[in-house]
Copies of this chain bind each other. A is one copy, B any other.
């Protein structure tokens, strides 16, 4: 029996998910929905799907799961409708820029009892996942400090930045998730500073392009994140975790393993260009995990709680930056 899926969003990330759905013999991509009709048609045609609309997809009882890869401002509505219809949900991060709306989504998922995966694809990256597995296996003892380097090759258009929720919600949200996941602990306090060093238009839009964050966890573990919108040498995605018995580092992936030695030096490839290249295996593994969990009824690794927690950290970091002081979390959650 085929697992039938509807895909919302036919943009660059929607295409990735469509391709990963198509790798499965037990999955059928039934609908592609996008306000850009041409994009929807083209993607649908490529994988033998139909072009649909939200209403049809959500009402179709054959649809078991939806993949929400449309623009962030549409997530919450699609999410709530899918949950109400009892569909399993694969939703790109962030659930919503508003913590309140994100909490409504979480509430809906809990009430509907539907499986839900939030798209923190980095956890499914082969290198990142190997670090986590080896850490869990005790290879470096207890984790103590985490240093995350998170650098985009270049900033998105300022128009995008204006509606992005800011660098902490738009970009560092992934790093907040890495922090929680790797340290297996919740933030007790967060301190963030931001600067605008690459483009004054970003400052004019009220945002920063460079950020430095410090998180102290409940177990007194320390995490530092350094992030920039512009690293001219490529998409720099590294972290290292220091433990009581050693250190595990996740280094960048490179397109090739060529080294060239000339009078100028000894040089290797820059990191993979951007997230579509670097995380292509992560996206594939993530979708496979989602589908396997649906098929087998096993729990999903990056769920709505993870989505909420990362968003709370992003909101607190934004507040810390704006107010120039550390923000402390209660011990409730």
Q: Are A130 and B261 interface neighbours, CB within 8 A?
A: no
Q: Are A268 and B265 interface neighbours, CB within 8 A?
A: yes
Q: Given A212-B145, A267-B265, A249 and B244 touching (CB < 8 A)?
A: no
Instruction: For A270, give its contact among B127, B214, B261 (CB under 8 Å).
Output: B261
A250 within 8 A of B: yes
A242 CA / B236 CA spacing, docked (Å): 11
Q: How far is the CB of A272 from chain B (nearest CB, A)?
A: 10
Q: Which residues of B contact A322 (CB under 8 A)?
A: none
A24 within 8 A of B: no
Q: Are B232 and A260 interface neighbours, CB within 8 A?
A: no
Copies of this subunit: 4
Q: Which residues of B contact A211 (CB under 8 A)?
A: 222
Q: Are A198 and B244 interface neighbours, CB within 8 A?
A: yes
Q: How far is the CB of A46 from chain B (nearest CB, A)?
A: 7
Q: Given A134-B258, A233-B262, A197 and B220 touching (CB < 8 A)?
A: yes
16 contacts between A and B (CB under 8 A): A126-B255, A127-B256, A130-B256, A134-B258, A144-B210, A147-B149, A197-B221, A198-B244, A226-B242, A230-B244, A231-B242, A247-B262, A265-B267, A266-B270, A266-B271, A325-B325
**A residues with CB within 8 A of B:** 25, 46, 126-127, 130-131, 134, 139-140, 142, 144-145, 147, 149, 151, 189, 191, 193, 195-198, 210-212, 214, 216, 220-224, 226, 228, 230-234, 236, 242, 244-253, 255-271, 324-326
